[in-house]
A and B are shown apart, each in its own frame.
Chain A
Amino acid sequence: MGLEFIEGNEAIARGALKANCNFFAGYPISPSSSIAYHMFNKLPRVGGVAIQGEDEIASIGMCIGAAMTGAKVLTATSGPGMSLCSENIGLAVSGETPLVIVNVQRQGPAIGSSTKGAEGDILFTRWCTSGGQPMIVLSPATVSEAYELTYRAFNLAEKYRTPVFLLTNKEIGLTRESVDLERVELPRLVDRARGTIGDSCFSYQFKALHEVPEFTDIGGEQITRFTTSSHDEAGYFTSSPEVIQKMIDHYAAKIESAEEDIALVKQDIETGAEILMISYGITSRSVAVAVNKMRKQGYKMSSLTLQTLYPVPRTTLSKALVGIKRVVVPEMNMGQYIQEIQRLIPARVEIVGVNKMDTTLLSPDEIIERGVLS
């Protein structure tokens, strides 16, 4: 393509198309709507379908229906729309539906400030549906990463047959940057493993708990049953406590056992560092400025930028914590992901949150004053 000046939302749509997404349904909501514009413009031209649902429930519902016939699907929304998607997200978890959901976060709660950025939906996304099953959540920091991580989100959704979230922010979605998407390195495209035809081919069949069942398309030769009710490997309703527990363990195992495969963390490690910055999304860019500034003043600091929020990249985090005396977690919310970090750190390590939810970005100076020098 060459050099372009595009916003994060366009990059998301382009990443989806690069991953061969062929079905989009969404409901207008600031600040995510421009993702839909790009999908409406592009998808029909490549033989796909883009439709505006009557609400977010219909949109994700149409996506799930399409996905189960074999389509690669995307929906995009913001916090209030995510609330409406909640029940269907559970459906996609139990139906093991590959699905990518973008949340361009805005200031909440509720309507909040519809055109202002925030990152208040971190724990909401992790626990967004009843049942408490693990989720895969990616978070880009730049327009290029929005492109790359959307593409990767499709790969993960296909590989693990599960909804995958791209959790971004108005401050990336509507911010334009000079980028060359052609130069973004992408992994090989993954398509869901499909079952072979035969009587033994069940849509929810696995041997080991962490195995991802082979997919059979609704509308394919193998008759397929999809259900949101507690079901066995053939997709039939079950009330057997053993089978129900097995399926619950399976939903967790397939994602938790893949922590290393899913974990994407950018590491900026300095030998002998006593301060570790942990950040994600747009705030990680302020952290990068803050770290450079402090290093120039002689501070020894390391910094981790999480592109994967869930499953929590525990291995990488634990490794980086060695020798650290203070951990700083700046967030555009009142302290959410810090709770995940707190579980991992030894008692002797001090942990400091730098939090703000006034719709403005955390500045490098705020991070330095409140996180490093405090």
Chain B
Amino acid sequence: MRTTIDTYLTNEIGPLPFCPGCGHDPLLKALDKALVKLQPDPAKTVIVTDIGCIGLSDRYFTTHGFHGLHGRSITYACGMKLARPELTVIVLMGDGGCGIGGTHLLNVARRNIDITLLVANNFNYGMTGGQHSVSTPLSGITPTTPMGNLEDAMDLCGTAIAAGAGWAYRGTTFDKDLPDRIAEAITQPGFSMLDIWEMCTAYYMLHNKLKKKDLVDIMGRNNFKYGLVANNPRPEYGTQYRATYMDTAIPERKACTIETKFDNNVMRQTGIVIAGSAGQKVRSAAGLLAQSSMCAGLNVTQKVDYPNTVMTGHSVSEIIVSPERINYTAIDTADYFVLVSKDGLKNTKSQIEKLPSSCTLYVEKSLELPHTEAEIIRLPLMATAKKVNRLSICIVALAALVKNSGIINLDAFAEAITTFQKPATAKISLKALEAGSALIHAKQEMDGSEWNVHNKIFNQTKGELK
């Protein structure tokens, strides 16, 4: 068994460095007493300090020490505690840190991560010249409030409690029971904090009448409770994380890989643009075309463009399929263009105007097109999709494209659908695939054999390098 540790303070770099009468001195000694009471292994204990005079503290302890940026000490402490739950993590922060790092105070309280925060609250920035902080009392004189502070002091415990802190204590460095309170805080299984009021002899006390008994008076004037403010334990984040996400994790969906099972008729790099509205499943339908092209042995890229508003506005996917390695992922001259909605049209109008005669444009029948050289194939895409599912319009359109152009086999498309979509969705998509292909079949019947012949020749032309 380990011998009892008499003190966690070390004289290795000399005595504590604070001004005579500074509250940090008794605060650190109270922390030392708390540690002596609890006897944690110094190698399993970390003292994380913030910026300010209190930031000088960690190096005077025989535990691990971490001295970080102003206001961010809580974040480092949380990272340590989450990565190594066996550690006892104690944060020493000033009232300044509570201001600049206020969001971290709120969020550690809300998450309830098992660290202990000691706020050395001396109402001003003692290291940088005594400027006012979030905890300076009303009418307090500081270099930045020379005519008296107009800002109300922040109720640090109240703020943390409002955010969910389960254990909070407010006291002063003159409290006889401070070491016990600190020990109590450390042993809490969740986030715990102590707002410890103290004297800054270098600055705040010089400009303001402040004696020992005034501390408790100021608390009273502000309606800040003195003593234990909250003791409502609730589940700790890290413990919950390990129980819910690690030990009983939901089984993962099996990753799908693609096997080349089909042939293709793509002789050169071919660009397919699909333009529609956000929410029309443009990206996923284009992705299925891409995956089916991979089933047919092709290299594929999918470049996407959509605004941040996911359910409104345009969505455009540029698919390149090629027997060769694909470098440039944008499509300057499309070989096929699929247009399914007004949003898509609005976004790609200038592109459509420039389409060459070698491009085939598959367009929803109801859309008014600008002038273009492209060969236009108007189809009742929306009406057809509605019979299956409104959201399958892109699959209807791409099925028509695949059927008509013959770039790949429709069976490859079906393979991609059944491989990558959940069964219920795949069922709808397969119906859409059939419906899209039937549109072309019907058109071919109507146009007669001549159209078929033209289509074959057209494909061969597309097969040649430009």
Q: Which of A210-239 contact B (CB under 8 A)?
A: 218-229, 235-237
- Assess the A65–B79 pair: CB atoms within 8 A: yes
Instruction: Flag whether A134 is at the interface (Cβ < 8 A).
Output: no
- Assess the B302–A175 pair: CB atoms within 8 A: yes
- Assess the A71–B83 pair: CB atoms within 8 A: yes
Instruction: Flag whether A137 is at the interface (Cβ < 8 A).
Output: no
Instruction: Flag whether A349 is at the interface (Cβ < 8 A).
Output: no
Instruction: Flag whether A361 is at the interface (Cβ < 8 A).
Output: yes
- Assess the B328–A289 pair: CB atoms within 8 A: yes
Q: Which residues of B contact A285 (CB under 8 A)?
A: 327-329
What are 27 residue pairs bridging A and B, where the CB atoms are less than 8 Å apart in the complex? A3-B257, A23-B83, A44-B249, A51-B82, A57-B75, A61-B104, A64-B79, A65-B83, A66-B80, A88-B69, A114-B308, A115-B307, A115-B308, A116-B305, A178-B258, A178-B298, A218-B87, A219-B46, A219-B84, A223-B42, A225-B65, A236-B59, A285-B328, A289-B328, A361-B330, A363-B332, A364-B328
| Binary contact track B256-268/A, C-beta < 8 Å → 1, others 0 | 1111100000000
Instruction: Flag whether A286 is at the interface (Cβ < 8 A).
Output: yes
Instruction: Flag whether B44 is at the interface (Cβ < 8 A).
Output: yes
Instruction: Flag whether A30 is at the interface (Cβ < 8 A).
Output: yes
- Assess the B79–A176 pair: CB atoms within 8 A: no
The CA of A363 and the CA of B327, in the complex, are separated in Å by 11
Q: Which B residue sits closest to A5, measured CB to CB?
A: B291
Q: Which residues of B contact A278 (CB under 8 A)?
A: none
Residues of A within 8 A of B (CB): 1-5, 22-23, 25, 30, 41, 44-45, 47, 49, 51, 53-55, 57-58, 61-71, 73, 87-88, 91, 114-116, 171, 174-178, 218-229, 235-237, 282, 285-286, 288-289, 360-361, 363-365
Residues of B within 8 A of A (CB): 13, 42-44, 46, 48, 56, 58-59, 62-69, 72, 75-80, 82-84, 86-87, 103-104, 106-107, 241, 245-246, 249, 252, 255-260, 287, 290-291, 294, 298-308, 326-330, 332
Partner of B67, one of A2, A47, A229: A229
- Assess the B258–A218 pair: CB atoms within 8 A: no
Query: Known: A58-B104, A361-B328. Is A5-B67 also a contact (CB below 8 A)?
Result: no
SS of B interface (majority): mixed
SS of A interface (majority): mixed
- Assess the A5–B46 pair: CB atoms within 8 A: no
The CA of A273 and the CA of B68, in the complex, are separated in Å by 52
Query: Known: A3-B294, A58-B107. Is A219-B79 also a contact (CB below 8 A)?
Result: no
The CA of A236 and the CA of B48, in the complex, are separated in Å by 14
Q: Which residues of A contact B306 (CB under 8 A)?
A: 115
Q: Which B residue sits closest to A229, measured CB to CB?
A: B67
Q: Which residues of A contact B44 (CB under 8 A)?
A: 219
Q: Which residues of B contact A61 (CB under 8 A)?
A: 68-69, 72, 75-76, 78-79, 104
Q: Which residues of B contact A45 (CB under 8 A)?
A: 246, 249, 252
Q: Which B residue sits closest to A288, measured CB to CB?
A: B327
Query: Known: A62-B79, A66-B83, A285-B328. Is A174-B304 also a contact (CB below 8 A)?
Result: yes
- Assess the A175–B332 pair: CB atoms within 8 A: no
Partner of B59, one of A2, A69, A221, A237: A237
Q: Give 5 new A-B contacts, CB below 8 A, not counting A61-B75, A67-B79.
A: A51-B82, A68-B66, A115-B306, A228-B68, A360-B330
- Assess the A176–B64 pair: CB atoms within 8 A: no
- Assess the A115–B305 pair: CB atoms within 8 A: yes
- Assess the A363–B64 pair: CB atoms within 8 A: no
The CA of A19 and the CA of B66, in the complex, are separated in Å by 26
Q: Which B residue sits closest to A359, measured CB to CB?
A: B305
The CA of A48 and the CA of B388, in the complex, are separated in Å by 43
Q: Which A residue sits closest to B55, measured CB to CB?
A: A229
- Assess the A49–B46 pair: CB atoms within 8 A: no
Q: Which residues of B contact A88 (CB under 8 A)?
A: 69, 72
- Assess the A44–B303 pair: CB atoms within 8 A: no
- Assess the A62–B301 pair: CB atoms within 8 A: no
The CA of A360 and the CA of B257, in the complex, are separated in Å by 31
In the complex, what's the smallest C-beta–C-beta distance from A150 to chain B, in angstroms? 18
- Assess the B83–A1 pair: CB atoms within 8 A: no
In the complex, what's the smallest C-beta–C-beta distance from B80 to chain A, in angstroms? 4
In the complex, what's the smallest C-beta–C-beta distance from B275 to chain A, in angstroms? 16
The CA of A219 and the CA of B294, in the complex, are separated in Å by 49
In the complex, what's the smallest C-beta–C-beta distance from A97 to chain B, in angstroms? 10
